Amino acid sequence: MANEDSQGKSGVGPLPSSPLVRALDALDRGEGLTVEDVVSCSKHSAALFEDVTPSLSLYTWGKTTNLALGYGQFSHSADQNRARQVVLPRGEVPSCISCSAFHTVCVCESGHVAVWGFGQGYRLATGDDQSRVDPVLIDPGRFCGVPITKALASVDNSMFLDAEGHTYLVGSNKFGQCGRSLHLD
């Protein structure tokens, strides 16, 4: 990972700025594990690992500010410098992830969506603006019961694509980024 790492985003502890691209030993989880996907934003990073079973496991690391790591730890000054597993509700298995400075969104193999982080502005799509330190599942009824296949987190919004090709966008509409559509709630 190039550039400065004052917040643990590389998963290897504090690193000085450097033009070198580094292999991340934080992602070397041992024999039989393969990294399937990685994402990173300004404050934290996440990875999906395939282990010896055919399912994926989700790990996060970086700055704990904004509750975006997903394991209940919160401090404005603490960093999680090593990848740590996030446990999803009800035994859900992750299939894809997205993160922003303020929250993380995880689509599960079941088509359900888990979210956690700073909830201001309704960006978590839970129906309120409460922050969540641990992953919570979004009520599938918010997506008309259709499984979600992809999700994206941006600073103030979350966007979802369902199995029938419909999109959903929640969060701030200060600049019209939620567009004009029928309100389903």
What's the CATH number where 121 sits?
A: 2.130.10.30
Q: How confident is the model at residue 3 (pLDDT cuts 50, 70, 90)?
A: very low
- How far apart are the C-alpha atoms of 135 and 70, rounded to whole Å? 6
Top-ranked range on mean pLDDT: pick from 22-36, 52-66, 151-165 = 151-165
Smallest Cα–Cα separation from 68: which of 137, 130, 116? 116
Instruction: Say if 7 falls within a structural domain.
Output: no
Into how many domains does the chain fold?
A: 1
How many Cα atoms are found within 13 Å in the side-chain-facing hemisphere of 56?
A: 21
Q: How confident is the model at residue 176 (pLDDT cuts 50, 70, 90)?
A: confident
What is the domain extent for residue 108? 30-171
Instruction: Say if 9 falls within a structural domain.
Output: no
Instruction: Say if 134 falls within a structural domain.
Output: yes
Instruction: Say if 14 falls within a structural domain.
Output: no
At 122-148, the pLDDT tens digits run 999 999 999 999 999 999 999 999 999
Instruction: Say if 11 falls within a structural domain.
Output: no
Q: What is the predicted pLDDT for the residue at 115?
A: 98
- How far apart are the C-alpha atoms of 53 and 162, rounded to whole Å? 27
At 82-133, the pLDDT tens digits run 788 899 999 999 999 999 999 999 999 999 999 999 999 999 999 999 999 9
Instruction: Say if 23 falls within a structural domain.
Output: no
- pTM of the predicted protein model: 0.82
